[in-house]
Amino acid sequence: MQLILFGPPGIGKGTQSALLVERLGLKHVSTGDLLRGAIRGGTALGQQAKAFIDAGRLVPGALVRGIANERLAEIGYDNVILDGYPRTVEQAEWVDEDFAAAGHPITVVVSITGDNEVIVERLAARGRPDDAPDIVRKRLAVYAAETAPVEDHYRQAGLLVTVDGEGDVEEVYGRIVQAIESVLVER
Ligand code: B4P
């Protein structure tokens, strides 16, 4: 199964990915983690990405596609969970293309939804530099303008399921697994 976990910043994509990796044995590709790794490693890409992340903006798509595909070339395109990628319709088209070319098309897209205020509160509690409330509001505005249209892209492709991201971690996990099962049974 090739799964995309989609949703606004701080809705719990990273948290739920960790559980899906541990319990379903999927391989994890988080573009946020990869970009933060590049920043820590002091690479040229990391230096370019840092200014965008600190400002709550999206990192240019070509850089993200490059870093994601580098990782996918190492681990393979099968049985993966894409966490926070794609984040624009252009990225979604690349993902569709790259996974189809590898012979492992996207199976299902789980969109996790939730209230903006819950998100701002959760992220303020985590305290990463880009989690300051004013930066989070900027990230939410970027999400509405650039990332939310990805949902329609996958709805039209018949791959989208929506899950409520509020409630405790296990409750949300249960909803995600149920949603994935319902899609797989229908096919
Ligand atoms: P990401 O690293 O993807 O970060 P995120 O969207 O903030 O986090 P996520 O939804 O995974 O939240 P988490 O589970 O950690 O992106 C960071 C930045 O990188 C972006 O802003 C952008 O600049 C750049 N970037 C990444 N991918 C890109 C792309 N494809 N294109 C362009 N730019 C890109 O949860 C957050 C907090 O909530 C945690 O503290 C967690 O413990 C808590 N939490 C989770 N679930 C909870 C629950 N059910 N109840 C209570 N708390 C919960």
Q: How far is the CA of 187 from the centre of ligand 1 (A)?
A: 30
Q: How far is CA 75 from the centre of its chain?
A: 18
79, 123, 85, 110: which is closest to 173 by C-alpha?
110
Q: How far is the CA of 10 from the centre of ligand 1 (A)?
A: 4
Judge if the beta carbon of residue 17 lies within 6 A of ligand 1. no
Judge if the beta carbon of residue 8 lies within 6 A of ligand 1. no
Judge if the beta carbon of residue 38 lies within 6 A of ligand 1. no
Judge if the beta carbon of residue 120 lies within 6 A of ligand 1. no
What is the number of alpha carbons within 13 Å of residue 76 lying toward its C-beta? 7
Judge if the beta carbon of residue 150 lies within 6 A of ligand 1. no
Residue identifier of the C-alpha nearest atom 22 of ligand 1: 58
Closest atom of ligand 1 relative to the 57 alpha carbon? 23
Residue identifier of the C-alpha nearest atom 44 of ligand 1: 12
- The whole-model pTM stands at 0.94
Judge if the beta carbon of residue 5 lies within 6 A of ligand 1. no
The average pLDDT across 123-149 equals 94
Which residue reads 């505005």 in tokens?
A: 141
Spell out the CATH class of 2-177: alpha beta
List, for residues 47-73, the tens digit of each pLDDT value.
999 999 999 999 999 999 999 999 999
Q: How far is the CA of 157 from the centre of ligand 1 (A)?
A: 25
- Are 84 and 2 in contact by the 8 Å Cβ rule? The answer is no
184, 185, 177, 179: which is closest to 20 by C-alpha?
177
Query: Is the per-residue pLDDT at 176 higher than 90?
Result: yes
Helix (H) or strand (E) holding 160: strand 160-164
Query: Is the per-residue pLDDT at 185 higher than 90?
Result: no
Residue identifier of the C-alpha nearest atom 17 of ligand 1: 32
Query: Is the per-residue pLDDT at 22 higher than 90?
Result: yes
Query: Is the per-residue pLDDT at 186 higher than 90?
Result: no
Q: How confident is the model at residue 184 (pLDDT cuts 50, 70, 90)?
A: confident
What is the C-alpha separation between 158 and 123, in angstroms, rounded?
31
